[in-house]
């Protein structure tokens, strides 16, 4: 918990002979913070252990606060400089996808190790409680943006920094650079939830049995097929067949109940015993009606239609699972 309260930092252990000379070296330390209040809420914010345990950070920042490396606090360098960043990640929880918008890392000392560096990398991972060393030569002027490329951490939680590379009188490599920059992008958006006002796109309920079957097929493939298989044959000794099933064709109520309340204990289908578990599925009445109507329409089943009203009725019976509580 000391880390969650901000106890972290980098210790650089250089080889005896030192590191190769570069033009600029900077220290960038990422950390995630968990507060009672939301991002940007005013006042001294107590630590939220609940959010920390869920790894649901309010702030993700470089060097200890939102804006520590932006605007007047930006890192600086000149065109032609080779820049070395020592990047640490105190966590406590999050793994960083460290990236500098506008640059490719010429060399990455992965996870802060001293093995042969990787080269020409756009984004490198920094473990929680880990580090990385990256180097790159600035080929042109501009404002380069440091981010954790888990990008909502950058634009909405603070994990954004700037490296301003001035031109001076050096070669700006105009063949790779238009000379135009636009500061109106890459601004923090803040953490306030934005919601787009718009009309509902919820589709109308299925208008007829054909529509029900079509929609049910999609749902079947997404939810049921993994166990009951694409041909409805199930898997012997594990998942009962839905094809030509005496269980299904014998009772719509039992079929609906199996989906909305689940099923456990021994069942016999087409003469074979199964002692597996059918989980109850969190589907709407409409979806259950569609998927069962689809199943009834296939594989020599009896072609019944199941309506949302029938599902609703069976759901209300609530053949309570023994624990009652869930």
Per CB under 8 A, contacts with a copy of itself among 159-178 are: none
* Closest to a copy of itself by CB, 78 or 308: 308
Q: Which among 102, 290, 320 has a CA at the least distance from the CA of 213?
A: 290
Q: What angle do CA 23, 26, 28 make, to 5 degrees?
A: 155
Write down the least CB distance from residue 211 to a copy of itself, Å: 11
Regarding 318 and contact with a copy of itself (CB under 8 A), the answer is: no
Contact call for residues 20 and 82 (beta carbons, < 8 A): no
Pair 319, 257: CB distance under 8 Å: yes
CA distance 262 to 300: 24
- How far is 266 from 257, CA to CA, in rounded Å? 15
**Using CB under 8 A, which residues numbered 252 to 271 contact a copy of itself?**
261-264
Any residues with CB less than 8 A from the CB of 201 and at least 6 apart, and which?
none
Among 16, 21, 180, 184, binds a copy of itself (CB under 8 A): 184
- Beta-bridged to residue 123, according to DSSP, are 99
Instruction: By CB under 8 A, name the one of 14, 16, 20, 43 that touches a copy of itself.
Output: 43
Of positions 18, 20, 271, 325, contacts a copy of itself by CB under 8 A: 325
d(CA 115, CA 136): 18
Give residues 190-229 in contact with a copy of itself (rule: CB under 8 A): 190-203, 215, 219, 221-223, 225-226, 229
Q: Which is nearer to a copy of itself, 23 or 56 (CB)?
A: 56
Asked whether position 73 contacts a copy of itself by CB under 8 A, the answer is no
- The secondary structure of 68-86 as a DSSP string is TTSGGG-EEEETT-EEEEE
Distance of closest approach, residue 174 Cβ to a copy of itself, in angstroms: 20
277 contributes a contact to a copy of itself by CB under 8 A: yes
50 in contact with a copy of itself (CB under 8 A): yes
317 near a copy of itself, rule: CB under 8 A: no
The answer to whether the beta carbons of residues 295 and 249 sit under 8 Å apart is no
- CB 315, min distance to a copy of itself, A: 14
Binding a copy of itself (rule: CB under 8 A), the pick from 12, 22, 49, 210 is 49
Nearest residue to 62 via CA among 88, 93, 97, 35: 88
117-146 residues in contact with a copy of itself (CB under 8 A) are 117-125, 127-131
**Separation CA 64–CA 32 (nearest Å):** 9
Residues 118, 97: Cα–Cα separation, whole Å: 16
Q: Is 22 in the site for a copy of itself (CB under 8 A)?
A: no
Q: Does 82 bind a copy of itself (CB under 8 A)?
A: no
Is there binding between residue 280 and a copy of itself (CB under 8 A)?
A: yes
Is the Cβ of residue 275 or residue 302 nearer to a copy of itself in the bound state? 275
Q: How far is the CB of 78 from a copy of itself (least distance, A)?
A: 25
Contact call for residue 68 and a copy of itself (CB under 8 A): no
Q: In the bound complex, what is the minimum distance in angstroms from residue 324's beta carbon to a copy of itself? A: 7
**Residue 56 in contact with a copy of itself, rule: CB under 8 A:** yes
Q: By CB under 8 A, what part of segment 282-301 binds a copy of itself?
A: 282-283
Taking CB atoms within 8 Å and a gap of at least 24, the contacts of 310-315 are 310/252, 310/256, 311/256, 311/260, 311/285, 312/285, 314/253, 314/256, 314/257, 314/260, 314/261, 315/256, 315/260, 315/261, 315/285
Structural Rg of the chain based on CA atoms: 29
């Amino acid at each position: 918990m000391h880390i969650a309260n901000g106890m972290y930092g980098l210790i650089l252990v250089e080889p005896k002979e030192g590191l190769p000379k570069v033009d600029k070296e900077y220290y960038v330390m990422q950390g995630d913070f968990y507060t009672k209040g939301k991002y940007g809420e005013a006042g001294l914010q107590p630590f939220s252990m609940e959010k920390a345990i869920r790894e649901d950070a309010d702030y993700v920042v470089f060097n200890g606060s939102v804006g520590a490396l932006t605007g007047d606090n930006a890192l600086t360098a000149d065109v032609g400089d080779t820049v070395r960043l020592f990047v640490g990640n105190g966590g406590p929880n999050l793994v960083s996808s460290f990236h500098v918008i506008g640059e490719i890392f010429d060399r990455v000392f992965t996870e802060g190790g001293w093995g042969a560096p990787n080269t020409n990398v756009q984004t490198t991972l920094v473990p929680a409680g880990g580090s990385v060393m990256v180097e790159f030569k600035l080929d042109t002027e501009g404002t380069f943006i440091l981010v954790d490329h888990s990008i909502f951490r950058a634009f909405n939680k603070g994990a954004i920094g700037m490296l301003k590379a001035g031109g001076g009188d050096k070669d700006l490599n105009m063949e790779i650079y238009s000379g135009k920059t636009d500061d109106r992008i890459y601004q923090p958006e803040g953490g306030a939830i934005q919601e787009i006002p718009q009309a509902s796109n919820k589709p109308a309920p299925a208008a007829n049995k054909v529509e029900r079957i079509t929609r049910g097929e999609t749902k079947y493939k997404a939810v049921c097929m993994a166990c009951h298989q694409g041909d409805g044959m199930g898997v012997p000794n594990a998942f009962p067949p839905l094809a030509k099933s005496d269980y299904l064709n014998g009772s719509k109520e039992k079929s609906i109940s199996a989906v909305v309340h689940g099923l456990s204990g021994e069942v016999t289908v087409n003469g074979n015993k199964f002692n597996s578990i059918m989980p109850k599925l969190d589907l709407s009445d409409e979806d259950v009606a569609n998927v069962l109507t689809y199943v009834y329409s296939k594989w020599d089943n009896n072609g019944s239609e199941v309506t949302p009203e029938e599902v609703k009725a069976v759901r209300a019976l609530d053949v309570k699972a023994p624990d009652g509580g869930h």
